[in-house]
Structure 1
Amino acid sequence: MPDPETLKFYADNAEAYAQHAERPSAQLAGFLAQLPPGGAVLELGTGNGRDAAAMRTAGFAVTPSDASPELAAEAEKRLGMPVRIMAFHELADESAYDGVWACACLLHAPRHELTDALARIFAALRPGGRLMASFKAGDAEGRDQFGRYYNYLSADQLHDHLRASGPWASLDITAADGSGYDGKPTRWLWAEACKAAAR
C-alpha cells in the first residue's frame, strides 16, 4: 500500500513537482533501444509525464500510471491523454507489455511489499520483456527532508528482491551518481531485468 505521508507530499506539491527535471534520464534511451519498435510500455510513477512524453515521441505505445491522482492530473496536462491511477499492489495485468519503466518510483514501495510489486511487474511483461527501475542506495529504510518514505536498498538487497520476484533470464544492477528533487547528491541504483523469451 502507498505510504500516506508520501502521497500527501505529492498531493500538496504536485504542481511544483511537475516543473522539476525536464530532461529524461540518460538510461531511458538505452532501455527503449532494447524493445521492439513501437512496443507497449507501462510506466510506473509517471510523475510529470516527462518520460512518457519522450517514449511517445519515439513511437512507443505508452501506458503512464501513478499512485498520486494529483500527479496524474499534472501528467495528463502534458500528455493530452489519460493517466492510469494505480498503486503497485493494484497492478494485475498479465503478459501485456514489452517493457516496464519505473524511474524513481519503486523506491517508495515499503520494503516488505517490494518483492510482490516486482513479481507483479514480472507477470505483466510479455516473454522477452524488460524492466528498468531506479532506486536510491542505502542500508536502512527511512524518510527524506520532505517526509517521503524510501526503502533505501543496497545493491545486494535489491538483487535479492528481484531474484525472489520471478525467474528473470538476466539481471543487472549498476550504480550512478546524481541528484533528485531535494537537490542533494544521490547514489542511484539502476536495475535492469529481462524475462525469458518465448521458445
Structure 2
Amino acid sequence: MNEKGEIVGDAKDDATIGFYGLEADAYASRSAPAADRLQRFVARLPGGGTILELGCGAGQDSEAMTKLGFDVTPTDGTPEMAAAAARRLGRPVSVLLFGDIEGHQLYDGVWASACLLHVPRTDLPGILARIQTALRPGGVFYASYKAGTAEGRDRFGRYYNYPSAEWLAAAYGTTGWKSVEIVAATGGGYDGLPTDWLHVIATKAA
C-alpha cells in the first residue's frame, strides 16, 4: 500500500487505508513537496517523455510535471485521493494498486514519492520488479522511504516498511539496473516531526 492508502494484492491494511481516505482533503490542501528532487528526476528524462506516477495523492507532483511538458499518467490506490487529483488536474485519475502495475517498456520514468514506504517488506522486491518491467531501457525510477531498522506503525496507525539503506539496496538488487543510488536526508512528514528519509534513483539498464 502507499502513503495515500494504496494496497498490494489482497492484503488490506484498514488502518492505513482509512487514514488516507479520511485525510484526502487535508492532503489536497498541501503544497507540492520536494521540488528540487522532482527537478533532478525530470532532468534525467527525455523532453516530453512519459511518466507514471504512483501514489499521486492529490496530484500536486503530476501537475508540476505536466506543466514541464511531460506526458504524465497519475495513479493512486485510494479512491478519495484519485478523486482529489482528478479535480486538481481536470482529468480522470486511475485507481491503481501496486500489485496491478502492468505493461512492458511503457515509461521513460516512474515517480513514486513517499508511497512505496507502505509496501510490506516481503512484497517490495516483487513490486520493484514490476516497475522495472514497465520502464523503457534507460528509464529512471524515483522513490522515497522513511528510514529505520524494522517495519512498524506510526502514531496514526499507518504501516511502514522503515528500511535501512542496506536493506533497501538488497531489495532493489542489481539485476536489470544500470545503477541504484540511495541518498539519506532529513525532512518532514504529515506529523510535522523531523524524519530520516532515504531517496532512491534507479536507472534501468539499456
- Does TM, normalized by the shorter one, top 0.5? yes
- For residue 167 of structure 2, what is the aligned residue in structure 1? 157
Shift of 1:3: 2.6
TM-score where L is the length of structure 1 = 0.95
| Bigger helix fraction | 1
Say yes or no: does 1:11 pair with 2:5. Answer: no
Change (3 A) 1:24 1:49: farther
- For residue 167 of structure 1, what is the aligned residue in structure 2? 176
Within 2, Cα distance between the matches of 1:19 and 1:11?
A: 14
The structure 2 residue matched to 1:113, chosen from 123, 131, 147, is 123
Say yes or no: does 1:187 pair with 2:187. Answer: no
Shift of 1:96: 0.3
Alignment of 1:31-180 (within 5 A): 31-163=41-173, 166-180=175-189
Asked if 2 retains the 8 angstrom alpha-carbon contact of 1:127 and 1:196, the reply is yes
Find the residue that maps to 1:169 and give its secondary structure: strand
Within 2, Cα distance between the matches of 1:82 and 1:175?
A: 35
Find the residue that maps to 2:51 and give its secondary structure: strand
Find the residue that maps to 2:15 and give its secondary structure: helix
Within 2, Cα distance between the matches of 1:88 and 1:196?
A: 22
Amino acid at match of 2:164: S
Within 1, Cα distance between the matches of 2:188 and 2:149?
A: 18
Q: Which runs of 5+ in 1 are unaligned?
A: none
Within 2, Cα distance between the matches of 1:86 and 1:4?
A: 17
Change (3 A) 1:175 1:190: same
Aligned length: 196
Amino acid at match of 2:196: R
Q: Which runs of 5+ in 2 are unaligned?
A: 1-7
Within 2, Cα distance between the matches of 1:17 and 1:121?
A: 25
Change (3 A) 1:54 1:146: same
Asked if 2 retains the 8 angstrom alpha-carbon contact of 1:24 and 1:51, the reply is no
Identity over aligned pairs, percent: 53
Asked if 1 retains the 8 angstrom alpha-carbon contact of 2:32 and 2:61, the reply is no
Amino acid at match of 2:60: R
Q: Spell out, residue by residue over 1:128-183, the C-alpha distance to the aligned partner (whole angstroms, 9 max, x if none).
A: 1010100000001111111111000000000000006x421111100111001110
Q: Spell out, residue by residue over 1:47-89, the C-alpha distance to the aligned partner (whole angstroms, 9 max, x if none).
A: 1101000000000000001100000001111111111101110
Shift of 1:23: 3.9
Find the residue that maps to 1:192 and give its secondary structure: strand
Mean CA deviation greater in 166-175 or 101-110 = 166-175
- For residue 4 of structure 2, what is the aligned residue in structure 1? none
Shift of 1:24: 4.1
Within 1, Cα distance between the matches of 2:35 and 2:159?
A: 22
TM-score where L is the length of structure 2 = 0.92
